Structure 1
């Protein structure tokens, strides 16, 4: 450490040691403490802002769920009233609906028109599966899992258990949901509400019968011959079961999509709908509403 001498009037020498260095150390300490306090303050501000943003997202999500629930209620009302125009539209395609100034997408799927993975005819399941899953190796993989459930006598609760985790959020999962079910309890399906893929992959079905069913589906002819056609392909063509999968979807401005989905059954004696179960989906990708 450097030092220097000076003399007072008495002639004695005094030493002043490290005055400048001590002042520099104090300044450095002050700057360090100030930096730490600033960093803590900045961190607290960032955390507070993050909490506020999370709270805002949660409030929006809660509001969206309430709107989506209103959409489900509207679907149920439309299905209970045979004269409701929205019900007629929903039976054809997904339909936009405005509620509280917000546009929702309402959808109805007829579970009776799908092939049941638990109770469905084995040959029918395999035929439709290979039509839906274009990749032959992947179709074999999915069918192997399905057959393992059958061999063990274990019920398939959700369709996505047949897929690898990385495939459960891909388009394949949605494709399987459109053509298969796990809750109808039928060996076959209702040909009037089934998809073209399901109907056209009934093992051994004749082209003439397909054309006749298509005429019935389009309303060009009556359904008087339908029972006879069903008998020819029993148990693959089954009677109608009033089960519906209904969905209400809302896309928020922050790219958040909330979907409330329910399985509903119709009591034909009273005309009322009953919700069997419901679940929510929250996604980041927006849903495109038809123009």
Structure 2
């Protein structure tokens, strides 16, 4: 039985988007609602926090050691050494009620990310990929809340979450990042909503359940094969890290909890970790489009 440990009880309002830095053996993640970027050192347990100019929705490592961060309305370069944010490109200037949400870097070094209705109601969100020249290209549309882009180990399947619709979709993806054959991969039953996700080395999908108090693991054919339970309700995303890629770091949230739930769930919003029975895939770094040339 897997038992997660809360390694940083920081009480994030909406902890999200953990990524693993192999260089400094640390986890970086965001608190969207409190407009903060966080860092947790796996070796020393030291922590750092930086304020962001608007809601940081995801963070993606680049090949030069900096990060690309999706803020409310655009993509920014984030230099952790200076704590500075530099605007790179606006996104969806015509969709004023939207903000950006989850993102990830694929094995070819391209950035994928989504947008969402900030009121979590209208299907105005979309899925994007950044091309070789740094142009933001729409790949799918019609989501109220996008989440979790992830890719299979063979690079042929892209997974993407329709959180409000409680559905994780699978797409065929080619070497140019074009999507086709959209189909429902998982439909979550009950009141929980699928949030962020990660794929392990066996091609299994680990899906965080917001309001479900757990992470569920699914085989590549959609069969549920494991569940990891947490002492709080809102699980948002995980990333595999450590030298053997078998330590899963997990973000959680207080958002949406009532006053009584917050009193009971004392670790809600904390950063958790657990040991996985199988390794995850290596953390990809952004080398195309928005990455600086070295």
Q: TM-score, structure 2 length as denominator?
A: 0.23
Larger relative strand fraction: 2
Higher CA-based Rg: 1
Larger relative helix fraction: 1
Q: TM-score, structure 1 length as denominator?
A: 0.23
